[in-house]
A = this chain, B = another copy of it.
């Protein structure tokens, strides 16, 4: 069995590494028929060096070329929808239709095209010009490579060589070194082929898009510390993310993390009374989507005790218990989910349903609901809010309103927080008190809906306070906002016109480009004072 090749400096190359891995089909437990290299530190250093060279060339590259690359990449992926989704399904167990071939694929190509539009309109550059002082500033590429490490759960839309971080980093004219997730290396290879072809077609410098499959964790940390790496985007587990953050922090390298989140949902008494069953159905659908393997999957449900609440819990329980068990991303994921569930149980939560792997070769886990009283949760909140990555949630039952607020106060940083309120105003006072606490602990505050389903939209925020992410001022989804993560703010002080980047020259590169000139955002030529 030959190793698949890595994409390095514009060419497919056999990795000299002896070490390799072979992914499994999580639906059967069988090994797939390809083997992939585990790259050595020397190979990672070569990738970094080529990225640094590409950065120099990309810096002066026409944004139109970047946009063409992103558009071509999207079209290449689009034209291989079936083939990519089919392999991806074998690697991840995620359903081909509608999930991979339609929903996630649509999102992936749309995101690349949105990034292309942003590269083209340069809105992320935000040029600011003061004519009196002849002082000009603009967001520019970082100067080195961006390492993008995608997660297991969105093999297309968050893929290191096709997903949101990739699109954002490239839109700002940074070269990307993508690390495949080892659970879907074949999918990543196909996406890298699309990127490679698109890069050749657009004439991007060699080394603009590179890809490797895997490395030893300590070699990955070395790569993060290399001076050729200007930023890192990571979506994945908290322990891995925190070790990368530590490496990046040592060298002052910006790292954007999207780590765990339990996405607390506060279901207020009036709402439960009014439409408890509908809420249970909404939550069940949200939890079951992608077998719960989403960073926005509801994992904590906070309720007041009541007859209506019992009814809601009963409904949720029967919906989850009645749903067929889906294949999860890997047997490792099942093991990890089981450990997380057992840990919460060991802390004293009662198991309502589930709590065990499903027998057989497929990676599956019983849909799980745990329950605890608010006092018990509050006494153990640090550990009881640990993520259970799968169809598993902990219900916290409060016997007075203040406990809902206390629960909110005990929460770590999360990507989302949700409130369900009655349609009249009876829940408003409690909602205000909970919101005041919850608002500072989540990136996206939701009313009367579920946290799953993140739109690629300029008005969204897929972010939040540490440890959900690494910085509360950024979003991992949404154009052009997400591009700022991979840009440096740079100033030109009395720099001669011939040395200014196009965005800061007296005559703008495009007539529609908006620039802040002497305090006013406008289009048009700069009249030098």
Residues of A within 8 A of B (CB): 56, 59, 128-130, 133, 135-137, 139-140, 142-144, 245-246, 249, 251-254, 413, 416, 421, 428, 431-432, 435-436, 439-440, 443-449, 455, 457-461, 463, 465-467, 470-475, 478, 481, 484-485, 487-496, 498-499, 514, 516, 519, 521
Contacts and interface: CB of A to CB of B under 8 A. Distances in A.
A350 B159 CA distance: 55
Contacts of A459: 128-130, 133, 135-137, 491, 516
Contacts of A143: 439-440, 465
A415 to B, nearest CB: 10
B491 A444 contact: yes
13 contacts: A128-B458, A130-B455, A133-B460, A137-B481, A246-B249, A252-B466, A252-B467, A428-B498, A432-B499, A459-B491, A461-B491, A474-B489, A521-B521
A455 B137 CA distance: 13
Contacts of A519: 458
What are the nearest 8 A-B pairs in CB distance? A252-B466, A143-B440, A461-B491, A472-B488, A444-B491, A130-B459, A249-B249, A128-B459
Nearest to A242: B252
Given A133-B457, A458-B519, 9 more contacts: A128-B458, A137-B461, A246-B249, A435-B499, A443-B491, A445-B491, A447-B495, A473-B488, A473-B489
A22 B457 CA distance: 56
A443 B494 contact: no
Give the number of copies in the complex. Answer: 2
Given A455-B133, A458-B516, A473-B254, A449 B494 contact: yes
A394 to B, nearest CB: 23
Given A56-B436, A458-B130, A490-B445, A251 B466 contact: yes
A470 B252 contact: yes
B484 A473 contact: yes
A496 B447 contact: yes
Contacts of A432: 499
Nearest to A516: B458
Q: Which of A253, A455, A471, A488 has the most CB of B within 10 A?
A: A488
A499 B133 contact: no
A273 to B, nearest CB: 18
Contacts of A128: 458-459, 481
Contacts of A142: 440, 472
A297 to B, nearest CB: 16
Nearest to A136: B459
